[in-house]
Structure 1
Amino acid sequence: MPRFDLVIFDCDGVLVDSERITNRVFADMLNEIGLPVTIEDMFEQFVGKSMGQCLELMTSLLGAQPPEDFVDNFKRRTTSALLAQLAAVPGIESALDQIRLPYCVASSGDHDKMRTTLGITRLLPRFDGRLYSVTEVARAKPHPDVFLYAAEKQAVAPSACVVIEDTPTGVKAGVAAGMTVYGYAALTPASRLLEAGAHLTFTDMACLPSLIERGPNPSIRL
């Protein structure tokens, strides 16, 4: 029998292959306002953080507040890029078909962003009504609030939840929530996810259903 009662997915980078797209836009915009960064810098410093946390980091790096219209322009430019380029994470649809447990989403993005990206990739019907955002809780990841909120809404004990995350920030949040965390290491090095506390890592979504069935084994890296 499965050891879990609920699977909690992060959204960006786990369900939708959006991280490279949105971070290219973000990097371009940071360079435009005088903050030279690369895509590698984005994955090292920004990925996994809420927009509020990103704005705080930008202010620190710039030594000044970013432009007032930065967030609105970022949303506009990322929406355009996502509409043109976004796809579901390879193998996620087949994995969802095989997972025999309830599942939901707990994301650092807001509801508009989740509904946009999941809608473009046609994954939204699988999760509609089970989308949870850091905008609904007091603290963003790496605090556990959004994962605990999702578990509460789904009426499942945290210890019976498995979180699927792709960033160290998200992994830390899941661990802090008292949940088992599987690190999806397609873009983030597995070593960083394990250092953050992931119970195991994997790189192929085709492996996820069997990993959930068998339960955590710290020696597994797929």
Structure 2
Amino acid sequence: MPDLIIYDCDGTLIDTETLYGEVSLAACHALGLTDWSIDHYVDSIVGIPWSDGVKIIEAAHGRALPADFEQKIEDEVALRLETELRALPGVREALGAIGGRRCVASSTSLDPLRRNLAITGLIDLFDPHIFSASQVARGKPHPDVFLHAASEMGAQPQDCLVIEDSVPGVRAARAAGMRVVGFTGVSHDKPRSAARLAEAGALAVIDDFGQWPGLVAGLKA
């Protein structure tokens, strides 16, 4: 059993990725990036801080984005989150079965991160051990947020296990010297996502939280 399990949030505990993907991709198409598909969005944007994602969109656009580009996306997503955001099936049951020490380490800024965990009814499982890339110098795929979480929790990186749905997240965990499991529960193309996560360094890939307690129990500390 690992000393500490570190959970990514978006796309792992809750399905914000689908909402952000739909809204952001529509905004990109409106800019004229009509050749962008959901795969393009996932490969380029998912798993990194949104501020870095905006820079990628701007580079693809070839000129400055409209001043209200980010705010329009955030406003539309916020409206949908209040009514559509849900925890992934089986999260609470799996975490209860595993027990032990846990925390969240996410690319999402701290206030929205806490809001989303509260909306989905999961915040009590982690509070106050909720950490964000906005608290460190560099976001994923750099290891900073995972190392920050481990330090705050008094854990050694080699004794931590991370669960992540994105390639940048898996790479960040590996760069931090941590073991990492990939998660494809919200992916629209699970075989492709699983292959990419494994290639990035995930020691295993699951697509359902029903598989999580057994996998954790089988790992040596």
The question of a shared fold, defined as TM-score above 0.5 by the shorter chain, is answered with yes
Residue equivalent to 1:27:
25
Q: Give the whole-Å Cα distance in 1 for the aligned partners of 2:67 and 2:3.
A: 43
The 5 A counterparts of 1:57-76 are 57-76=56-75
Per-residue CA deviations over 1:113-166 (Å, capped at 9, x if unaligned) read: 212211111111112211111111111100000000000000000000000000
Matched, 1:160 2:164: no
State yes or no: 1:195 paired with 2:199.
yes
Q: Aligned Cα RMSD in Å?
A: 1.2
How much does 1:33 deviate? 2.1
1:63-118 deviations in whole A, cap 9, x for unaligned? Answer: 11212222222221111111121111111111111112111100000012212211
One-letter identity of the residue aligned with 1:15: L
- Matched with 2:115 is 116
- 1:167 Cα offset (Å): 0.6
In 2, the alpha carbon distance for the partners of 1:112 and 1:13 equals: 18
Q: Does residue 189 of structure 2 align to residue 185 of structure 1?
A: no
Shift of 1:178: 0.2
- Whole-angstrom distance in 1 between the partners of 2:142 and 2:86: 29
Secondary structure, counterpart of 1:194 in structure 2 = helix
Q: Which amino acid aligns with 1:27?
A: L
Secondary structure of 1:96's aligned partner: helix
Cα shift at 1:35: 2.0
Q: CA deviation at 1:44?
A: 2.1
Displacement of 1:192: 0.3
Query: Could you tell me how far 1:40 is from its partner in structure 2?
Result: 2.5
Equivalent of 2:16 in 15, 18, 33: 18
Structure 1 runs of 4+ with >3 Å offset:
none
The Cα shift of 1:185 comes to 2.0
* TM-score when normalising by structure 1: 0.92
Q: How far, CA to CA, are the matches of 2:19 and 2:51 in structure 1?
A: 20
Q: Does 1:208 align with 2:212?
A: yes
Paired with 1:70 and 1:215, the residues of 2 have a C-alpha distance of: 45
CA distance in 1, matches of 2:27, 2:115: 21
Distance 1:181 1:78 in 2: 29
Unmatched 5+ stretches in structure 1: 217-222
Alpha-carbon displacement from aligned partner over 1:29-71 (angstroms, at most 9, x marks no partner): 1112222222232112211111121121112101112122222
Aligned residues: 214
- Give the CA deviation at 1:203: 1.1
Distance in 2 (alpha carbons) for counterparts of 1:46 and 1:6: 28
For 1:112 and 1:68, the matched residues in 2 are separated by: 22
Gaps of 5+ in 2: none
Counterpart of 2:41 in 1: which secondary structure?
Answer: helix
Percentage of identical aligned residues:
37
Partner Cα distance (2:82, 2:27) in 1: 18
Residue number in structure 2 paired with 1:43: 42
SS of match in other structure, 2:141 = coil
